Amino acid sequence: MAKKALVIVESPSKAKTIQKYLGRDYIVKASVGHIKDLPKSKLGVDPKKGFAPDYQIIPAKVKVIEELRKASQLVPELYLATDPDREGEAIAWHINEELKAKGKKVHRVLFNSITKPAILEAMKSPEKLNIDKFNAQQARRILDRLVGYKISPLLWDKVRRGISAGRVQSVALRLIVDREAEIKKFKPEEYWTIGAQFSKDGIDFEAKLFKIDGKDPELSNKKTVDELLAALKGAQWKITSIEQKERSRKPTAPFITSRLQQEAARKLGFSAKKTMALAQRLYEGVDLGDLGTHGLITYMRTDSVRIEPGALQSVREYIAETYGKNSLPEEANVYKTKKSAQDAHEAIRPTSLEFTPEKVTPFLEKDELRLYQLIWNRFVASQMLPAVYDQTAIDIVAKDSAGHTQNFRTTGSILKFPGFTAVYTEGTEDEKDSENDERALKLPKIKEGDTVTNKSYDPVQHFTQPPPRYTDASLIRDLEEKGIGRPSTYATILSNLQDREYVERRESRYYPSELGTVVTELLVHSFPDILNTEFTAGMEDQLDEIEEGKSDWKKTLGNFWKPFEKTLEKAKETMKNVKRQEVPTDVPCEKCGHNMVIKWGKMGSFLACSNYPECKCTQDFTKDEQGKIVIVPKEFTDKKCELCSNPLIVKNGKFGKFLACSDYPNCKFTAAITLGIPCPECKEGEICQKQSRYRRLFYSCNKWPKCTFACWDKPIQKECPQCHYPILAEKITKRAGLMHKCIKKECGYVDIIDPDAGKAPPPEPEDSTKKTAVA
């Protein structure tokens, strides 16, 4: 039976879902991402020939292209249905070039959601390939290649081989490094606040010092506070003002990519990379059993808050039915998309309100469900009425003995109408409850002019705090506000910074590494424009203009390249060579007594004797908060060197910790750190943990290459009860939890130890009263 057309998408899972919707008349294949790219081995761009790119087929995609060619020969029409963004457009263009579909009708199809109605509707109204969108992607790719491939070799020469620079990545790193510098320079300043307890008709309530003589209080030390409290002795307190008003709080717009990443970080603790991976799965399609396979959310790379009219009508009907008509505004809430946004896609929302979180729970992994619930709640709440609060502010005033007017105030609010908060409240960087005191509800009946009795004062000392280190949420927020990169790239940027050891992520906050700080300082000095946030944001605007057909991509690249080329040549001569740099210290060498100097090596900075080469002593060090050098003591073990019998010490290397002779450099013996488990194959060595070139952990015998035993999962010293192999492997998966399994695949033994291990806890239900301040 002849097929009507070949439909090409990016991912295999999406291909399976769409194949079910279109039926047997169509062939649906996946490109599995990009099929062509610039070569890794060379620049691949010729600025002298109009920035002509040398696109080459990605070696891993040769078979994919052959399959697509064969399939295209069977059909008269070709539908290119890659993702509806710049990257997807580039993939579509490259597929069209490789298939050389002469005589065939070639269509561009954009799917905003993977549902049967959306797919069928898009197939009815295909578009043409968009040359402007392709050129915008091409310009961005070439820009990134020019910056990365021209600056990175310079860093290899001056700092360390293998490190890299990136047009957007380096600016994001600068934000983290600059924030760390702010924190280190910060000097805390003392200030005080004064609380007070008042009483009326036997009921106590609290207030805080609000004004002194109508001005904000300036309490910078204990002496000032003591003088103020002394002047308040015997003061007569009166209620001078009771202000009551109604306040409303509007719902927030449905998610765009950056807001989803921020909120998932704040509420669920997800990294941007994890959020986008989960969202991709929800978008591409989930098997819902008897209900079939459905994409549960719309396209997750978008910066538009627009909602399709049919979806608006559906959610309004759902709100009226579920929460009552009194939760529904007369007209749909409309949100403004920012000027720089590409309005081609909708906001991120559920594709159908038929698939409630409760209904799809059996078919989703826990983290998938938590993210889906977040998207669902935000979308539904965005079309509900504002929350309404009754807000009260009460001023208690007295004249002190020095003649100053002291004004204490108590404030708070009571939730009058929950509105959208019945479904969702937006997270914050600091998830503390409101500071307003619920005991204010016990206020007696009071009116202006009433006198109250002071029972006590509560002065509290504080110190100003430095700006907080970046989290995923706050860094993405700043990148977006400054116009650096695009929301669809943020997850990759943050991931690259960690993979390249420029930053460390501790307790969800980013700390620049020494390498990241050194690289940033060098780049800021030598390439001030590249590391400038306004310059980077301006480049993004120019890329947008290319997509809109307002600018020529080659001219844009030319305007960038001419000054960049001059700066590059100057940097080759003037950039500081960290490898050759020696910083004197007053730390004495433990072997010869000469002062040590700070040098830079493959693993960062270290102390070396200034009497080199006569003395080759080196030491690791760190710096305390004041910047003083602190020697890292050597970590001795009870094991002896196999060559010279000196004790072995633990050291850090490119692939993690290892054992080395303490008499280095006279003796250069090294060994892997073992788990203390005998090798089950050679019976002579022990199993040790190692790291592959791609930084993936694995386990092997320390007698390698004499013994070739190796496995990916962590071994434990426990015999397999089925085949009696000496060891088992311990593994944690999302679906099965903690398990013990036989390392020998042919055995197949598996024992589930803890089915809940490694799984995220279920999402906490939204509590509309959690942050309600009451008066």
Rounded to whole angstroms, how far apart are CA atoms 205 and 298? Answer: 50
Q: Is 457 a catalytic residue?
A: no
Do residues 568 and 151 lie in contact, with contact meaning Cβ atoms separated by under 8 Å?
yes
DSSP output for 601-662: ETTEEEEEETTTTT---EE-EEE-TT--EEE---EEEEEE-TTT-PEEEEEEETTEEEEEET
Sign of CA dihedral 640, 643, 646, 650: negative
Q: Report the first-to-last Cα separation within the chain, whole angstroms.
A: 75
CB-CB contact of 37 with 56 (8 Å): yes
- Measured CA to CA, the distance from residue 648 to residue 642 in angstroms comes to 9
Cβ–Cβ < 8 Å for 319, 330: no
Please confirm whether the linkage preceding 254 is cis (ω < 30° from 0). Answer: no
Burial of residue 364 (CB within 10 Å: 0-12, 13-18, 19+) is: buried
Catalytic residue among 21, 55, 79, 299: 299
Selection from 693, 695, 734, 728 nearest residue 713 by Cα: 728
In this structure, the strands spanning 26-30 and 5-9 are: parallel
How wide is the angle at C-alpha 483 spanned by C-alphas 477 and 484, nearest 5°?
85
- What does DSSP say about strands 105-108 and 77-80: parallel, antiparallel, or unpaired? parallel
What is the distance between the alpha carbons of residues 253 and 698, in angstroms, rounded to a whole number?
A: 45
CA–CA distances in Å: residue 272 to residues 346, 467, 500, 505: 20, 22, 17, 13
**Which sequence positions are flagged as catalytic?**
299
